[in-house]
Amino acid sequence: MKRILIVTGQSGSGKSSALQVLEDLGYYCIDNLPLALLPEIVAKLDHENNLEQLALGVDVRSTQADLQDFDAVFEQMKQHGSVDIIYLSTKDEQLIARFSASRRPHPLSNRYQSLNECIQQEKSLLLPVQFRSTVNIDTTDKSVHDLKHTLLSKLGQSDNLILILQSFGYKHGIPLDADYVFDIRHLPNPHWDLNLRKLSGLDAPVQEFLAENDQVNEMYQDIYHFLQKWLPAFSKGHRHYLTVSIGCTGGQHRSVYMVDRLKSALAKDWSIQILHREMKHWS
């Protein structure tokens, strides 16, 4: 078996939707398996079936002892292929809204009185799995279509490091799935130029405006040299994905420009995927 994905995360964050997307991508998917049985099942499937891609859904209904012993389970599964853990998370208020809308009980509702307590306890129980995660996805503002696009971006290649460059706007919240976050709100803002306001950082007039500023160029050089220095180390450490998020106020001009400029400079050496999180908000 060449590739094994463990899909887990907070209840209500989209695990079932992610597994449906992976099934469409050709993965053989199994959901709600006890953690302790994963190595045995993977070994059996590897021996009896000619599977190239396997996706396994795991949630908090596994026993606490199994969750605490996840490291041992993970090491056993690595004997049968490359293993990545996709961890889905969502902001608390959005999870509460989703459970209220669906009127479905939280998996821990028989142990704790309030929904908020269930959410906090689930985070704690899943920590051993989250610490091992190689792909983190914040689904707070993602539709099923957005989730599919993100999975396609992050699963594009299996062996080489994929650099995810993401622009975002602070007024819409910091992305939870970022490995590194750079704040560039201190740079000149094209928003205040009425001729540039409706454009984005992908448009030539905005790019020219920003490229003429010394602070912008210095910030670009700092981020570029940081990535050039450390990306080889991440790659040698067998990291498959690294998400670098760059934020400005609205996520339309400065962060988009910086992501596009970094992509152009780094694409000759690295596999790069681009995510402009706030594109749907652009005027």
Residues paired with 272 in a beta bridge: 163
Tell me the binding residues for GTP: 59-62
Tell me the binding residues: 9-16, 59-62
Tell me the binding residues for ATP: 9-16
| Type of residue at 190 | P
Q: Is 88 helix (H, G, I), strand (E, B) or coil?
A: strand
Tokens 């498959």 sit on residue: 240
Q: Is 68 helix (H, G, I), strand (E, B) or coil?
A: helix
CB of 8 within 8 A of CB of 85?
Answer: yes
Between the CA of residue 171 and those of 38, 137, 247, what are the distances in Å? 41, 19, 10
- How many Å apart are CA 106 and CA 99, to the nearest integer? 7
Task: Find the DSSP H helices in 69-212.
Answer: 70-77, 92-102, 115-125, 127-130, 144-154, 204-211
CB of 183 within 8 A of CB of 251?
Answer: no
